[in-house]
């Protein structure tokens, strides 16, 4: 095992519970290889998930893609960042491309597509993508995430239904 791998594993193991240790390990890994897509991806995740700096996160993800367009670890996090930053068209394009990549977790990408539609309040489309995610799921971890997203979408659909149903007014005739 290479030294850089040791630091990447330490960073992954520390994230998100110990950000200081994560950054320290990432900095060591980056000093060994500034073109490691896993390192760039984790830097991007920290920017997006912890610091809410979506533009900086996008820069890290894009840099990783310039190194390797098939860096499978980057796609779900970059898509999520685009959704959070309300870059919906860009997220849709990235999802469409990601689904063509051999070896990518299609279930995970369909989950992100459902979340994209959820963010746009297109709940019926989101439910369709949940179905696609279920069909492509081959591990328990993705099934758990699918269930969580599906439940959240169903709750939102119920909220929208309740809002549309208005109580009848009582007539004031005597």
The SS3 assignment for 35 reads: coil
How does DSSP assign 112-132, residue by residue?
A: HHHHHHHHTT-HHHHHHHHHH
pLDDT at 140: 82
Distance, CA of 121 to CA of 106 (rounded, Å): 22
Helix 140-164 with 123-136: angle, nearest 10 deg: 160
The model's pLDDT over 88-116, given as tens digits with 9 standing for 90+, comes to 999 999 999 999 999 999 999 999 999 99
Q: Assign residue 57 a region: left if phi > 0, alpha if psi is -120 to 50, beta otherwise? A: alpha
Cβ atoms 68, 37 nearer than 8 A: yes
Q: Whose CA is closest to 125, among 97, 156, 98?
A: 156
Residue 172 has pLDDT above 60, yes or no: no
Q: Percent of the chain having pLDDT more than 90?
A: 85
Distance, CA of 65 to CA of 41 (rounded, Å): 10
**Rg of the Cα trace of the chain?**
20
The model's pLDDT over 52-86, given as tens digits with 9 standing for 90+, comes to 999 999 999 999 999 999 999 999 999 999 999 99
pLDDT at 88: 98
Determine the distance from the C-alpha atom of residue 17 to the mean position of all C-alpha atoms in its chain, rounded to a whole number.
19
Distance, CA of 164 to CA of 161 (rounded, Å): 5
Helix 37-45 with 74-84: angle, nearest 10 deg: 30
pLDDT at 91: 98
In the chain the domains, ranked by start, together with CATH numbers, are 3-164 (1.25.40.10)
Q: How confident is the model at residue 171 (pLDDT cuts 50, 70, 90)?
A: low
Mean pLDDT, all residues of the chain: 93
pLDDT at 161: 86
pLDDT at 109: 97
The model's pLDDT over 17-29, given as tens digits with 9 standing for 90+, comes to 999 999 999 999 9
pTM, 2 dp: 0.90
């Amino acid at each position: 095992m290479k030294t850089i791998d040791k630091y990447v594993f330490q960073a992954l193991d520390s994230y998100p519970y110990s950000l200081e240790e994560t950054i320290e390990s990432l900095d060591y890994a980056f000093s060994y290889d500034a073109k490691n897509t896993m390192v760039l991806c984790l830097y991007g995740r920290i920017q997006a998930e912890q610091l809410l700096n979506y533009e900086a996160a996008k820069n890290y993800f894009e840099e990783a893609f310039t190194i390797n367009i098939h860096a499978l670890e980057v796609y779900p996090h970059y898509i999520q960042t685009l959704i959070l930053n309300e870059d919906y068209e860009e997220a849709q394009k990235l999802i469409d491309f990601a689904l063509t990549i051999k070896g990518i977790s299609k279930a995970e990408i369909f989950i992100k597509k459902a979340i994209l539609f959820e963010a746009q309040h297109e709940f019926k489309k989101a439910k369709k993508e949940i179905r696609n995610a279920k069909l492509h799921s081959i591990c328990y971890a993705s099934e758990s995430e699918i269930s969580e997203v599906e439940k959240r979408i169903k709750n939102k659909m119920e909220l929208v239904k309740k809002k549309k149903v208005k109580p009848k007014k009582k007539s004031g005739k005597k």
